Every structure is written in structure tokens, then in C-alpha cells.
């Protein structure tokens, strides 16, 4: 089990640098709990792979104590604006007389942590461990590990919204739409301005005016102002007679959107709620006064936010 878990990290860049680095700590648990490495220990995959983690072979496991020790390690060594991922790899879990680990696991997850469970034993023990895992982070490894699956889980766990400044509070963070960063990260300023000001302010925070191209995006963007409409990143690059509606990324708007836009009303676009979850695009003068929504892609293994 141990060599397989180690090898699953080969596709990742292990180290201590600020960007594109995964940091790993190692705890062994059984009748005794041992912290073999802190998050600050390894600077390369080779160092991690060579770490000796002996198999305890204990009949019962103090898994609650191991989770608590891991939580302490994150509190001590964790960097801000990094996702916390706890991997529980078990070759055969038996609680015995030790405390149930579920409360400790739930506390870790409540505090923005993710728990991945790799179980090398099928049956009842596997079911006991399944309840500790975050949704979609349980992996039956009784027939061996599939490294690609673990790597993909790491990528998913590392998806989060970046901070505006130093991440000292939740108010400094971009907001995940619907609580899921995969839906995009947004800022919803409470003040308004002309369209040009909206673009500048979004750019100052390394984002862009939101570009809601589908219904899901529209519902996320409209959290800012559902009634009066908000500036979005769609402009007419043509003229009144031959409009050419383009998103800020250069792509053309689809016919279902352009059919709602009358270039005679202006070259900028607002999105507004019409009734319940319904919405509409409309063209307007770029010097009108509106609120706006800013968008930024979430941090991930391919778009790391330092």
C-alpha cells in the first residue's frame, strides 16, 4: 500500500516554492501515531519517495488521533490561500476501543478541508471509512491504485477562489458562485459607474468584467444587482447598421443573445433580471451609471494563484 500511495504523487511537483508546488506531510497510525514528516520537510518527489514509513500491522487503529495530529500539522505549517487535503490510506481499518474519528473528520471538512480516502480493503471496513470522505473523494483501491484518479482528485481539491489582497479574512476572497469555484469566482461591487470604470476596476483586481454566455453564468453574475441590470463584458465593435457584438475575450456573441440587442440604444451591454430566474440582455449607452460583476478563473493545478 505505502509504495503505491507514494508513487501516486509522481505526477505532481512536490516542494516548498510558492507556485506550482504540492507540500506533503506523512503520518503513520495504528496503535501508535507517528509524524514522519511535516509539510515543510520535502523539497522534491525523490525525498518524499525515499521516506521510510514502516507498516504497523496493528489490529486496531487510532484514526481519530491521526486526524487530530494532521489538523495540528496544518494549523502549524499551512500557508494561507492553499487548499488543505487530508489523505487517509487504509489497508484494513478497525476502530477497536479507540474513539470514532467522524467528529474530527467533520471538523476538518467544516474548516475548508477536503478528505480523500483510499481503502485497500473491501467490505465493512471500507464502509466505515467511506463516511469520512468528502463527496466524490472515496476511492476503492482494493485492486490497486489508479494514479490518474488520485491526480484528478488533487486537481479538483486544488480548485479555489483567489484572494484580493493578503487573504487575512473571507472578505478578501473572490466569491465562488453557488459555493463551487468550478462555477467561477466573482466580485460584486456595491458602487456603480460608467462601463469604462467597471472594466478598469475589474482589471485592478486581476479580473475582467463578467462574460455570462449561458444561463448558469447569468445566474451567477446577477447576484450583484438583479433589478436594475449590471455591466457585462459585451460590446458592439461595429456600428448601428452592421453591429458586431463581441465579448471581451474576442469571441462573437451567439444569435440568441444578439437578437436581444438594439445597437441604436448604445454599444455596451447590461444584464438584468426580468422575472424570477429569467434574465435579458440589453444594449445601452456606455456612459450610463450601472453596477457590475467582475470575474476571475478559479485557482487550480493549471492556474495557480500565488
What angle do helix axes 63-77 and 102-110 make, rounded to 10 degrees?
Answer: 20
C-alpha closest to that of 158 among 305, 16, 296, 42: 305
CATH 3.40.50.410 residue window(s) in the chain: 2-157
Q: Round to whole Å and give the CA distance between 233 and 195.
A: 9
Burial 171-203 (b: 16+ CB within 10 A, else e): eebbbbbeeebeebbbbbbeebbbbeebbebbe
C-alpha closest to that of 95 among 71, 70, 135, 131: 131
Stated pTM of the model:
0.65
Residue 134, pLDDT score? 92
| Per-10-residue mean pLDDT, the chain, length 306 | 85 79 91 93 94 82 95 89 86 87 94 89 77 90 82 79 70 77 84 93 92 88 74 96 96 95 96 84 96 88 63
Residue 302, pLDDT score? 64
CATH 3.10.100.10 residue window(s) in the chain: 170-296
Residue 155, pLDDT score? 77
Q: Round to whole Å and give the CA distance between 91 and 119.
A: 6
Helix (H) or strand (E) holding 237: none
Assigned CATH topology for domain 2-157: Rossmann fold (3.40.50)
Residue 203, pLDDT score? 93
CATH architecture entry for 170-296: Roll (3.10)
Amino acid at each position: 500500500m505505502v509504495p503505491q500511495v507514494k508513487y501516486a504523487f509522481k505526477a505532481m511537483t512536490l516542494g516548498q516554492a510558492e507556485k506550482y508546488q504540492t507540500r506533503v506531510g506523512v503520518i503513520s497510525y495504528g496503535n501508535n501515531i507517528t509524524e514522519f514528516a511535516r509539510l515543510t520537510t520535502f523539497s522534491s518527489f525523490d525525498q518524499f519517495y525515499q521516506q521510510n514509513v514502516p507498516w504497523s500491522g496493528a489490529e486496531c487503529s487510532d484514526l481519530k488521533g491521526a486526524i487530530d495530529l494532521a489538523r495540528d500539522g496544518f494549523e502549524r505549517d499551512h500557508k494561507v490561500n492553499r487548499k488543505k487535503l487530508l489523505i487517509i490510506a487504509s489497508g484494513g481499518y478497525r476502530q477497536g476501543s479507540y474513539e470514532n474519528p467522524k467528529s474530527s473528520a467533520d471538523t476538518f471538512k467544516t474548516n475548508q478541508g477536503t478528505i480523500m480516502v483510499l481503502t485497500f480493503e473491501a467490505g465493512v471496513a471500507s464502509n466505515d471509512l467511506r463516511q469520512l470522505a468528502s463527496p466524490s473523494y472515496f476511492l476503492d483501491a482494493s485492486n490497486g491504485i489508479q494514479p490518474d484518479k488520485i491526480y484528478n482528485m488533487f486537481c479538483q481539491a486544488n480548485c479555489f477562489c483567489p484572494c484580493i489582497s493578503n487573504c487575512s479574512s473571507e472578505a478578501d476572497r473572490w466569491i465562488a458562485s453557488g459555493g463551487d469555484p468550478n462555477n467561477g469566482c466573482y466580485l460584486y461591487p456595491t458602487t456603480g459607474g460608467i462601463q469604462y470604470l467597471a472594466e478598469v476596476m475589474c482589471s485592478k483586481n486581476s479580473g475582467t468584467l463578467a462574460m455570462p454566455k449561458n444561463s448558469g453564468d447569468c445566474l451567477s453574475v446577477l447576484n450583484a444587482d438583479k433589478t436594475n441590470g449590471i455591466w457585462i463584458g459585451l460590446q458592439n465593435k461595429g456600428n448601428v447598421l452592421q453591429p458586431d457584438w463581441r465579448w471581451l475575450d474576442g469571441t462573437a456573441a451567439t444569435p440568441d443573445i444578439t437578437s436581444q440587442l438594439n445597437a441604436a440604444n448604445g454599444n455596451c451591454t447590461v444584464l438584468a433580471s426580468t422575472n424570477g430566474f429569467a434574465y435579458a440582455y440589453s444594449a445601452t449607452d456606455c456612459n450610463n451609471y450601472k453596477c457590475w460583476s467582475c470575474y476571475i478563473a478559479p485557482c487550480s493545478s493549471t492556474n495557480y494563484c500565488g
